[in-house]
A and B are shown apart, each in its own frame.
Chain A
Amino acid sequence: MKALEISSVTFSYDKPAGKNKAAGQNYALRDFSMEVKSGQFHALLGPNGAGKTTLMRLITAQLKEYRGEIFIFGRNNFDKRALHDIGYAPQPVSVYTTLTARENLRLFGVMAGLTDEEITRRLAEVLEETGLAAYAGKPASVYSGGMLRRLNLAIALLHSPQLLLLDEPTVGVDPQSRNHIYETLMKINAAGTSIVLCTHIMEEAQRLCSTVTLLDRGVTVFSGKMSEIENLEKFFLEKTGRGLRDD
């Protein structure tokens, strides 16, 4: 069973110009395809501007005007039911800082369609898993960077999704919080959840993931098993070049 199947997706942030919609456009993704099997821990790697975050936004149906198809457990991602299967932790910490962790989790739990009983049970579990139980009643505005990252992750985990999309989940956190996040993710993956991890930390990807897709300038430059790669950082630089990516 494929957790995620992306077929020939092309997307541009530019507005179509004139009749020739393809002419003169800068593509964020071009004819991009990728597969993640059920239960896999998959790394999605690429330099800045490669199209990783765009891909995440396409999968979660935040961006809709693209060519190609995206399936989540066999359902097109435009099908609202497909969104139930996804847990998404975006790159910016996207939590309501005026609200407490408990209030944030309850809000997103209701959005995911959980019942009150399910929310009560899962809320306690994810707060425990992410080490936030002691601070659950405090507004997120007083949290440290690491705590906010963990809350960002907890929201994605709350409705027990089958596919977890993580966009740089450990950016700006201390080694303790990072390690806690790794352990949580490994536990979740071991329980059967498929995970797609976007990251710039090569050791993180090599330690956690079994498969990898390397993306650059909107196209796939490598897709295969992590075990085939001896040194991921060296491999990454060989495939994507050593030049700075400031454009």
Chain B
Amino acid sequence: MLRQFKELFRKELKILLRDRQTILLLFFMPAALIFFLSLAVGGMQADVLIGRKIQTVVENQAQSPKANLLEKKIKSHKLIERKVRPAGMDNDRLFESSKVQAVVVIPRGFDEGDSPVEVYFDPVIDAGYKAAVLSMLTSLTVEVVMGIDNLDAVVANMIVEKTKPNREFPNPLEQTVPGFAIFAMFFIAIPMSIIFLKEKRDGTLPRLFTYPVNANLVTLAKLAPYYIINIFQFILMLLIGVYIMPYFINFSLQWGEHPWHLLPITLIVAAATTGFGVLVASLARTPEQSSTLAALGAVLMGAFGGIMVPYFFMPLVMKKLAMLSPVYWAHQAYLDVFLRGAAFSVILPKLAVLTGFAIICFYLAGRKVKWM
């Protein structure tokens, strides 16, 4: 029995790994998605201001002592990268060129308090950038007008931030690494169902049953390689997120307070994704049908489950609907580890949902599957 299992397992693994398209689908697709979408999502979040500069044109029309001091302070601020307005170009053209995001004008009469500082923003600028620039200008203007040397230092003695670390709003890597790892794990249903249906169609699977082999053994040997590959997919994506992505993006993926919780989560997520694959294989009649069904299922579950559009961006109705997707529960379980440092008792209900999903898939597939 063990020899037969080993040989069937080896056969399945060889068929799977000799298909270059499958390798691309299972390993390169999620790696590429993690890389590009982490960069994209990073740009959407206000946290990205750290270490980034805003291209700004500063025009001092007053040329008075206070105006000159304000101009000097703005130019030397860490948030600002000073740009010069090309001759004859108005603000609209400047913003269209995408080389400038803000224009600050210190008008005549500033010293006398007759004219306020004017700020123009690129209409498409992120609200986070806008708030940061306005806050910076307010501080610097107050410093100049009130004659304070460093307002931030003064305020620092009066206001101390006591906020706990954010536990609900994942950074781009916390969002995309587990998200697209889960997404890719669900894509295992494509090669799994295609190989199963091809074996049925070309007669190799029925031929196996003309030998004294146990059907349960064949089932187990067919599932095990996909289950193991699922686990490898997650490990690889995790390593990319922890060790490679920080070189390209100003965020990091931390192992969390209880990294060992990743083990039961990954084992159960892999069971759910393998179950989904078996269900697709049992429902489809042709390899073409199975690939469509598996891809559609994975994409829909991913979209509903908060992978494509982060869960915290979703409206309330969508947040409720997300709970129908196993991807949501899997993603939230991983966020419990990476973001929230949650106790295992908090993760357990999510794992129960995923286990339930896996059991339902295996049960339905078991009733539906036709070996011959």
Chain A residues with CB under 8 Å of chain B are 57, 60-63, 80-81, 83-84, 86, 88, 90, 92-99, 103, 106-108, 110-113, 139, 155
Contact B4 A111 (CB under 8 A): yes
Give the distance in Å from the alpha carbon of A60 to the alpha carbon of B206 in the complex.
Answer: 10
B86 adjacent to chain A (CB < 8 Å): no
Q: How far is the CB of B198 from chain A (nearest CB, A)?
A: 9
- Bitwise interface map of B from 194 to 225 toward A, beta carbon under 8 Å scored 1, else 0: 00000000111011111111000000000000
Q: How far is the CB of A177 from chain B (nearest CB, A)?
A: 19
Q: How far is the CB of B1 from chain A (nearest CB, A)?
A: 10
Contact B202 A108 (CB under 8 A): no
Give chain A residues whose Cβ lies under 8 Å from the Cβ of B7.
Answer: 106-107, 110-111
Contact B212 A80 (CB under 8 A): yes
Q: How far is the CB of A8 from chain B (nearest CB, A)?
A: 23
Contact B212 A90 (CB under 8 A): no
- Partner of A60 from the list B8, B19, B204, B210 (CB cut-off 8 Å) is B210
Q: Is the interface of B mostly helix, strand, loop or mixed?
A: helix
Nearest residue (CB) in A for B201 is A92
With A62-B372, A63-B372, A111-B211 as given contacts, are A92 and B15 in contact (CB-CB < 8 Å)?
A: no
Give chain B residues whose Cβ lies under 8 Å from the Cβ of A111.
Answer: 4, 7, 208, 211-213
Give chain B residues whose Cβ lies under 8 Å from the Cβ of A88.
Answer: 207, 210
Give chain A residues whose Cβ lies under 8 Å from the Cβ of B167.
Answer: none
Give chain B residues whose Cβ lies under 8 Å from the Cβ of A63.
Answer: 372
Give chain B residues whose Cβ lies under 8 Å from the Cβ of A139.
Answer: 18
- Partner of A92 from the list B202, B208, B213 (CB cut-off 8 Å) is B202
Chain B residues with CB under 8 Å of chain A are 3-4, 7-8, 11, 14-15, 18-19, 202-204, 206-213, 372
Give chain B residues whose Cβ lies under 8 Å from the Cβ of A94.
Answer: 202-204, 206-207
Contact B212 A62 (CB under 8 A): no
Give the distance in Å from the alpha carbon of A139 to the alpha carbon of B11 in the complex.
Answer: 13
Q: How many A-B pairs fall under 8 Å by CB?
A: 65
Contact A98 B15 (CB under 8 A): yes
Give the distance in Å from the alpha carbon of A106 to the alpha carbon of B8 in the complex.
Answer: 10
- Partner of A62 from the list B8, B202, B209, B213 (CB cut-off 8 Å) is B209
Contact A83 B15 (CB under 8 A): no
Contact B19 A98 (CB under 8 A): yes
With A81-B212, A108-B211, A110-B3 as given contacts, are A62 and B14 in contact (CB-CB < 8 Å)?
A: no
Instruction: Offer 6 A-B interface pairs, CB within 8 angstroms, sorted by A.
Output: A60-B210, A63-B372, A83-B211, A83-B212, A93-B202, A94-B203
Q: Given A92-B203, A96-B11, A106-B7, output 14 extra A-B contacts at Cβ < 8 Å.
A: A61-B209, A62-B209, A62-B210, A62-B372, A93-B202, A94-B204, A98-B14, A98-B18, A99-B14, A107-B8, A110-B3, A110-B4, A111-B211, A112-B211
- Partner of B204 from the list A57, A86, A95, A103 (CB cut-off 8 Å) is A95
Pairs A-B, 10 closest by C-beta atoms: A94-B203, A111-B211, A80-B212, A60-B210, A110-B7, A94-B207, A92-B203, A98-B15, A83-B212, A88-B210
| Residue among B14, B210, B211, B372 with max Cβ neighbours from chain A (10 Å) | B210
Give chain B residues whose Cβ lies under 8 Å from the Cβ of A95.
Answer: 204
Q: How far is the CB of B367 from chain A (nearest CB, A)?
A: 16
- Partner of A84 from the list B8, B19, B202, B212 (CB cut-off 8 Å) is B212
- Partner of B15 from the list A93, A99, A110 (CB cut-off 8 Å) is A99
Give the distance in Å from the alpha carbon of A90 to the alpha carbon of B211 in the complex.
Answer: 13
Give the distance in Å from the alpha carbon of A90 to the alpha carbon of B372 in the complex.
Answer: 13
Q: How far is the CB of A119 from chain B (nearest CB, A)?
A: 10
Q: How far is the CB of A164 from chain B (nearest CB, A)?
A: 12
Give the distance in Å from the alpha carbon of A83 to the alpha carbon of B209 in the complex.
Answer: 10
Give the distance in Å from the alpha carbon of A97 to the alpha carbon of B208 in the complex.
Answer: 15
